[in-house]
Amino acid sequence: MADTVRDPPPDGTDFHELEDGEELFPEPAAAPEESQPASLPAEDISTNSNGPKQDLLFDDDPEDLFAEATEEVSLDSPERDVLLSDGPSPAITPITPPTSVITPRIGHAHDDMFTHSSFDEIEEEEGGDSFDIHISVSDPEKVGDGMNAYMAYKVTTKTSMSLFKQKDFSVKRRFSDFLGLHSKLASKYLHIGYIVPPAPEKSIVGMTKVKVGKEDQSSNEFVEKRRSALERYLMRTVKHPILLKDPDVLQFLESSELPRAVSTQALSSAGLLRMVNKAADAVNKMTIKMNESDAWFEEKQQHFENLDVQLRKLHASVESLVCHRKELSVNTAQFAKSAAMLGNSEDHTALSRALSQLAEVEEKIDQLHQDQANGDFYLFSELLGDYVRLLTAVKGVFEHRMKTWQKWQDSQMLLQKKREAEAKLQFTNKPDKLQQAKDEIKELEGKVQQGERDFEQISKTIRKEVSRFEKERVKDFKTIIVKYLESLVLTQQQLIKYWEAFLPEAKAIS
Amino acid sequence: MSVHSLSRNHTLFKLKLYLLCQILIFDKNTDATLQVDISDALSERDKVKFTVHTKSTLPNFKQNEFSVVRQHEEFIWLHDSFVENEEYAGYIIPPAPPRPDFDASREKLQKLGEGEGSMTKEEFTKMKQELEAEYLAIFKKTVAMHEVFLCRVAAHPVLRKDLNFHVFLEYNQDLSVRGKNKKEKLEDFFKNVVKSADGVLVAGVKDVDDFFEHEKTFLLEYHNRVKDASAKSDRMIRSHKNAADDINRIASSLYTLGTQDSTDLCKFFLKVSELFEKTRKIEARVAADEDLKLADLLKYYLRESQAAKDLLYRRSRALVDYENANKALDKARAKNRDVLQAETSQQLCCHKFEKISESAKQELIDFKTRRVAAFRKNLVELAELELKHAKVTTVQLLRKSS
């Protein structure tokens, strides 16, 4: 199975650690791998600096993933930048520094999510151009007023690829521009089997709040959520080697003025047409029964169905966790206030001081919980949400294959009928009708051949796409979950710091 | 496993409490003359039976060491007998232990049994284990509360000599204290209403003695704030538990994903699932410890501060009575009628008031010492436990991820 999932890379070095079974979490039994850098990112780090990293809190695991994280909890770690600027190294994904997770609060922390994974798309590019592009979406600005207002985002591209005219440029785009890009790409590529990443969803409620001008926490969160979603969307799109070269994408990234994508509005004629099409598709899906000759497709479809169900479940649980952590943060803050009051009324001075300290500790912890909740959300929950939506796109691609097959079969059946009609006509004396029939048959034969070719093509494309998708999925999940775990570790370490500071105060009560 | 067998197991749920003193908010009294503890407890359908074990060198008891079985109502009876005893008006009566409340836990077990079909076997076993652990925790807590009550009484120089207390400890038959019937409960309710109204009136009377005046204001404020802190800490801990539950579900989902996935992610997911499982257990422990060290502490001092307030109320009441008796005496002397009667009643009131004042002062000072010690102990332990858990979690996360 491993072979069909991954196309054998021309240059095998990048995936050697996966193929050797040396994964992020090696089995304890795999003794020979212990000598090598045990974890993907550590490969980068340990080659550069094995010595000083040895004196950790937990000596058992000198080459563990979080070598950097345990060394110092203080927020500035200058040596990290040195490591990262090592250029496009053959190793995969160095860890992003802990700083980016803690600061800023609602962070651009997850910006870095895609930066480093871009380094190893090298062997995928047939053009020889190293895949080096980083897109960031920032500075959401409200333009206009009232119901016509919209948020403009700055899309900055930093790249060294020859595909682009400049190395570093930015444009202003609004949400409907993104939707417009997606609909163009979808109409061009979906039906021939390419998995086009879905754009973030429209949210009428969210946007209305922003338009109306409520400058409150929830609308800020909404804008941040959207900004981060747009960034991930663009990065996913450009990671696709075919989509990257698409002129619409290039125009989107480069040109300063973009024609307004009106057809993305929900109530426009195009919108209505889309809805009708969706309904028609749903009916068709139920009526097409395909003769699946290729077990691979059947298996894959089943696999994606299962994955979809599981991911949705996981997503729901993670969302619930985010909710409860936010609640925990609020309740902790309230408790902190209450404890401070209690400390005030306590007349034994040492105890009073200790209680005030407790209140402070709890306040800091509440902040910690808030940050963790954000981490939970932006790292984990959004990843899952993205994949749930991506899977819909994947399923769509499979459906298109079925439709192609259907078309092919239809033209084949039509050809059959015409041939029968022609055979019948041969016995009548209508030469011009016969000629007409012969012409039609020729045409249909061409169509049938085309249909067959289309079907083969889409099947081939889908195979490639699916393998690419799976590779991306594996990478994405690993990277992000590792990051998430890192954030958990950091939270715990902060907790340790706070409680350690409190303990002597508590002991000082006499 | 059906709900019935589950509940049957719980009806015969026995527990040996060796290190119960660890969970005590109150330091156990190690006075050899009278040592009381709860050595065993049995949880039945709707009641808990405590085995009260006494070791004593006092001559009042027939033996030096003995045990009896008591139920919650009997503890309440003992407490009420203290409250109603005029002799003890000058002491802070140790607050009565709260009623053992397994309803919530039982309900959850019920729901679990009903929902058994809708979840996987692993999930079911996991949730069952958790609920059982919760049940156990509540059980341990209620036993601790009852023991603390007894220990406080045993440690008090006057209360420990109370006859009812000795009967409670020694009489090995059922004390036949029936719970209050409806009429009596209603009477209690009215008594409380009258008391609180009276309390307000009496509180308005300014005290001559600075110490008591200060204590009054202090206790009032303190009591309210402890109540608030107790409620907020409960909410915080509940959120914590909810978060731990979520992590549990995430762990199971990851596990399923891991078993289904055919790519490299499968092993990865399984490992991460295990990791989440471990961290969840620790998070649950953190919540439980916070509950024990912080929430219970606050709840206990809520009750104690109420008891202290009650003492002050009684003293103020006695003061008012004394002042009224003085006035009555003056009036009687002026009219020269029933002077002797008025004099004796005034003497009584004076005596009562002075007695209460004297012991109250000591009681309140002791209360403060106890409170400071308890807070210190619990806060230190809380911090140590939090540290321990955070360190363990970090180690787990790091070890697993290499």
| Beta carbons of A39 and B253 less than 8 Å apart | no
- CB-CB neighbors (< 8 A) of B275 in chain A: 485
Residue B353's Cβ-count burial label (10 Å; 0-12, 13-18, 19+) is buried
Of A164-168, A173-177, A288-292, A408-412, the one with minimum mean pLDDT is A288-292
B251 touches chain A (CB under 8 A): no
Mean pLDDT of all residues in A361-377? 86
Model pLDDT, residue A52: 39
Nearest CB partner across the interface for B400, out of A23, A25, A318: A25
Phi then psi for residue A292, to 5 deg, are: -80, 110
- CB-CB neighbors (< 8 A) of A313 in chain B: 253, 256
| Beta carbons of A25 and B268 less than 8 Å apart | yes
The minimum CA-CA distance between A413 and chain B, rounded to whole Å, is 39
Q: Which residue of B has its CA nearest to A57?
A: B395
Give residue A261's pLDDT band: very low, low, confident or very high (50, 70, 90).
low
B268 touches chain A (CB under 8 A): yes
Mean pLDDT of all residues in B211-229? 88
The complex scores an ipTM of 0.80
Of A99-113, A495-509, B206-220, B326-340, the one with minimum mean pLDDT is A99-113
- With contact defined as beta carbons under 8 Å apart, do A178 and A199 qualify? yes
| Beta carbons of B401 and A485 less than 8 Å apart | yes
The minimum CA-CA distance between B222 and chain A, rounded to whole Å, is 6
CA–CA separation, B301 and B298 (whole Å): 5
The minimum CA-CA distance between B242 and chain A, rounded to whole Å, is 6
Parallel/antiparallel/unpaired status of strands A168-174 and B34-43:
unpaired
The minimum CA-CA distance between B272 and chain A, rounded to whole Å, is 8
Nearest CB partner across the interface for B232, out of A65, A311, A334: A334
Mean pLDDT of all residues in B286-297? 84
Give B 50-79 residues with CB within 8 A of chain A. none
B122-151 pLDDT, tens digit per residue, is: 777 877 887 888 888 888 888 888 998 998
Higher-confidence position of A33 and A263? A263
CA–CA separation, A68 and A9 (whole Å): 31
Residue A70 has pLDDT above 50, yes or no: no
CA distances from B292 to A139, B133, B137, B230 (A): 47, 14, 9, 12
Mean pLDDT of all residues in B27-35? 62
Give residue B231's pLDDT band: very low, low, confident or very high (50, 70, 90).
very high
DSSP secondary structure string for all residues of A213-275: T--SHHHHHHHHHHHHHHHHHHHHHHHSHHHHT-HHHHHHHH-S-----GGGSTTSHHHHHHH
Mean pLDDT of all residues in B217-235? 90
B197 touches chain A (CB under 8 A): no
Q: What percent of chain A has pLDDT over 70?
A: 69
CA–CA separation, A70 and A66 (whole Å): 6
Higher-confidence position of B349 and B20? B349
Q: What is the dihedral of CA B73, B74, B79, B84, to 10 degrees?
A: 90
One-letter identity of residue A2: A
Give residue A97's pLDDT band: very low, low, confident or very high (50, 70, 90).
very low
The minimum CA-CA distance between B360 and chain A, rounded to whole Å, is 18
Of A317, A323, A353, A466, which to mutate for an interface test with B (greatest number of B Cβ within 10 Å)?
Answer: A317
Of A330, A338, A361, A482, which to mutate for an interface test with B (greatest number of B Cβ within 10 Å)?
Answer: A338
Model pLDDT, residue A275: 73
The minimum CA-CA distance between B155 and chain A, rounded to whole Å, is 22
- CB-CB neighbors (< 8 A) of A359 in chain B: none
Tokens representing residue A152 in the block: 């403009």
Residue B374 has pLDDT above 50, yes or no: yes
pTM exceeds cut of 0.80: no
The minimum CA-CA distance between A34 and chain B, rounded to whole Å, is 10
Count helices and strands in chain B by DSSP H and E runs: 10, 4
Residue A329's Cβ-count burial label (10 Å; 0-12, 13-18, 19+) is buried
Mean pLDDT of all residues in A317-336? 89
Query: How many Cβ atoms from other residues are within 10 Å of residue B235's Cβ?
Result: 18
Model pLDDT, residue B202: 63
CA–CA separation, A211 and A191 (whole Å): 36
B233 touches chain A (CB under 8 A): yes
| Beta carbons of A499 and B387 less than 8 Å apart | yes
Which residues of A70-216 form beta strands (DSSP E)? Answer: 133-143, 150-159, 168-174
Our CA angle for B135, B137, B142, nearest 5°, is: 95
Give residue A168's pLDDT band: very low, low, confident or very high (50, 70, 90).
confident
The minimum CA-CA distance between B384 and chain A, rounded to whole Å, is 7
Nearest CB partner across the interface for A317, out of B246, B263, B271: B246
Which residues of A68-195 form beta strands (DSSP E)? Answer: 133-143, 150-159, 168-174
Mean pLDDT of all residues in A438-446? 86
Model pLDDT, residue A33: 35
Please compute Rg for chain B using Cα positions.
27
CA–CA separation, A321 and A129 (whole Å): 42
Model pLDDT, residue A39: 36
Q: Which ranges in A346-430 belong to alpha helices (H)?
A: 349-375, 382-427
Nearest CB partner across the interface for B379, out of A318, A358, A482: A358
The minimum CA-CA distance between B309 and chain A, rounded to whole Å, is 15
B365 touches chain A (CB under 8 A): no
Phi then psi for residue B399, to 5 deg, are: -65, -45
Nearest CB partner across the interface for B397, out of A324, A344, A489: A489
Of B126, B223, B253, which to mutate for an interface test with A (greatest number of A Cβ within 10 Å)?
Answer: B253
A31-54 pLDDT, tens digit per residue, is: 333 333 333 333 333 333 333 333
Strand partners, A430: none
Model pLDDT, residue A270: 65
CA–CA separation, A94 and A91 (whole Å): 8
Residue A266 has pLDDT above 60, yes or no: no
Nearest CB partner across the interface for B256, out of A38, A310, A502: A310
- CB-CB neighbors (< 8 A) of A509 in chain B: 372, 375-376, 379
CA distances from B300 to A55, B194, B293 (A): 45, 25, 11
A461-507 pLDDT, tens digit per residue, is: 888 888 888 888 888 888 888 888 888 888 888 888 888 888 888 88
| Beta carbons of A495 and B386 less than 8 Å apart | yes
Q: Which residue of B has its CA nearest to A344?
A: B222
**Angle, to 10 degrees, between the axis of helix B121-155 and the axis of helix B265-290?**
20
B368 touches chain A (CB under 8 A): yes
CA–CA separation, B44 and B42 (whole Å): 6
Residue A300 has pLDDT above 50, yes or no: yes
Nearest CB partner across the interface for A23, out of B243, B264, B383: B264
- With contact defined as beta carbons under 8 Å apart, do B49 and B74 qualify? no
**Angle, to 10 degrees, between the axis of helix A349-375 and the axis of helix B339-401?**
40
CA–CA separation, B346 and B324 (whole Å): 9
Chain-wide mean pLDDT for chain B? 81
CA–CA separation, B244 and B236 (whole Å): 13
Query: How many Cβ atoms from other residues are within 10 Å of residue B330's Cβ?
Result: 12
Of B267, B275, B375, B382, which to mutate for an interface test with A (greatest number of A Cβ within 10 Å)?
Answer: B375
Nearest CB partner across the interface for B218, out of A63, A328, A347: A347
- With contact defined as beta carbons under 8 Å apart, do B273 and B258 qualify? yes
B302-349 pLDDT, tens digit per residue, is: 999 999 988 888 888 888 888 888 888 888 888 888 888 888 888 888
B151-166 pLDDT, tens digit per residue, is: 889 888 888 888 888 8
Give B 103-132 residues with CB within 8 A of chain A. none
B48-86 pLDDT, tens digit per residue, is: 889 988 888 888 788 888 888 998 888 999 999 998 888
| Beta carbons of B246 and A503 less than 8 Å apart | no
Residue among B102, B93, B92 nearest B72 (CA): B102
- CB-CB neighbors (< 8 A) of A318 in chain B: 246, 250
| Beta carbons of A317 and B372 less than 8 Å apart | no
- CB-CB neighbors (< 8 A) of A344 in chain B: 225
CA–CA separation, A395 and A215 (whole Å): 39
Give residue A100's pLDDT band: very low, low, confident or very high (50, 70, 90).
very low
Dmax (CA) of chain B = 106
Chain-wide mean pLDDT for chain A? 71
Mean pLDDT of all residues in A277-306? 75
Sign of the Cα pseudo-torsion (A71, A72, A75, A81, in order): negative
**SS3 readout for A139-152:** EEEEECCHHHCEEE
Model pLDDT, residue B22: 38
| Beta carbons of B397 and A503 less than 8 Å apart | no
Model pLDDT, residue B113: 80
Sign of the Cα pseudo-torsion (A294, A298, A300, A301, in order): positive
Give B 370-399 residues with CB within 8 A of chain A. 371-372, 375-376, 379-380, 382-384, 386-387, 390-391, 393-395, 397-399
Residue among B77, B50, B94 nearest B179 (CA): B77
CA–CA separation, B35 and B28 (whole Å): 9
Q: Which residue of A has its CA nearest to B251?
A: A314
